[in-house]
Amino acid sequence: MITTQPSCNDIYEPGLIPVKDALARILAAVPAIEGHERLAIEHARGRTLCEPVVSSLNVPAHTNAAVDGYALHAEDLPDQGTRRLEIIGQAFAGQPYTGSTERGQCIRIMTGAPMPEGLDTVVMQEQVQLVDNFIELDNRHKAGQNVRQAGEDIQQGQTILQPGKYLTPPDIGLCASLGIAEISVRRKLRIAIASTGNEVFGIGQTREAGGIYDSNRYSLLAALDRPDIEVINLGILEDDPDSLLNSFEEAGAYADVIISSGGVSAGEADYTKTALQASGRVDFWKVALKPGRPLAFGQIGKAAFFGLPGNPVAVMVTFYQFVLPALEKMLGINNKPIVPTFLAKTTENLRKKPGRTEIYRGIIEQNGNGEWTVKTTGKQGSGILRSMSLANAFIILDHDNADIKAGEWVTVQPFSGLF
pLDDT, tens only, 340-372: 899 999 999 999 989 999 999 999 999 988 999
Residues 45, 171: Cα–Cα separation, whole Å: 8
Q: What residue type is assigned to position 124 of the chain?
A: M
Q: Are 77 and 128 in contact (CB under 8 A)?
A: no
The helix/strand/coil state of 288 is: coil
Residues 207, 210: Cα–Cα separation, whole Å: 8
Q: Is the pLDDT of residue 4 over 70?
A: no
| Residue 160, C-beta contacts closer than 8 angstroms, at least 6 positions apart | 53, 54, 55, 154, 174, 178
The candidate with the shortest Cα–Cα distance to 290, out of 361, 387, 359, is 359
Residues 249, 3: Cα–Cα separation, whole Å: 38
Per-residue confidence at 240, pLDDT binned at 50, 70, 90? confident
The candidate with the shortest Cα–Cα distance to 71, out of 146, 19, 129, 130, is 146
* Structural element, H or E, at residue 70: strand 69-72
pLDDT for residue 351: 94
User: Taking the CB of residue 334, how many other CB atoms lie within 10 A of it?
Assistant: 15
pLDDT for residue 65: 98
Long-range contacts formed by 297-302: CB under 8 A, 24+ apart: 297/25, 297/26, 297/29, 297/322, 299/29, 300/248, 300/249, 300/251, 300/252, 300/258, 300/276, 301/249, 301/251, 301/252, 301/253, 302/252, 302/253, 302/256
Q: Is the pLDDT of residue 291 over 90?
A: yes
pLDDT for residue 314: 96
Q: What residue type is assigned to position 331 of the chain?
A: L
Distances (CA, A) of 379 to 216, 360, 382, 384, 388: 19, 10, 9, 8, 11
Q: Is the pLDDT of residue 239 over 90?
A: no
Query: Are β-strands 200-201 and 212-213 bridged in parallel, bridged antiparallel, or unpaired?
Result: parallel
Q: Is the pLDDT of residue 134 over 60?
A: yes
Q: Is the pLDDT of residue 264 over 90?
A: no
pLDDT digits over 148-206, tens only? Answer: 999 999 999 999 999 999 999 999 999 999 999 999 999 999 999 999 988 888 888 88
Per-residue confidence at 243, pLDDT binned at 50, 70, 90? confident
Q: Are 375 and 390 in contact (CB under 8 A)?
A: no
Per-residue confidence at 280, pLDDT binned at 50, 70, 90? low
Whole-model pTM over 0.85: yes
pLDDT digits over 15-46, tens only? Answer: 789 999 999 999 999 999 999 999 999 999 99
Per-residue confidence at 301, pLDDT binned at 50, 70, 90? confident
How confident is the prediction for the chain on average, in pLDDT? 91
Distances (CA, A) of 308 to 28, 172, 287, 305: 19, 36, 11, 10
Distances (CA, A) of 39 to 176, 193, 263: 13, 26, 40
Per-residue confidence at 283, pLDDT binned at 50, 70, 90? confident
| Residue 9, C-beta contacts closer than 8 angstroms, at least 6 positions apart | none
pLDDT for residue 6: 52
Residues 112, 405: Cα–Cα separation, whole Å: 58
Residues 269, 34: Cα–Cα separation, whole Å: 37
pLDDT digits over 370-419, tens only? Answer: 999 999 999 999 989 999 999 999 999 999 999 999 999 999 999 998 88
| pLDDT greater at residue 217 or residue 243 | 217
* Mean pLDDT (whole number) for 83-106: 96
pLDDT for residue 266: 57
Domains and CATH numbers, the chain: 16-35+188-330 (3.40.980.10), 36-59+159-186 (3.90.105.10), 64-148 (2.170.190.11), 342-417 (2.40.340.10)
Residues 258, 249: Cα–Cα separation, whole Å: 10
pLDDT for residue 282: 72
Distances (CA, A) of 275 to 42, 120, 178: 42, 74, 52
Per-residue confidence at 265, pLDDT binned at 50, 70, 90? low
Q: Is the pLDDT of residue 86 over 80?
A: yes
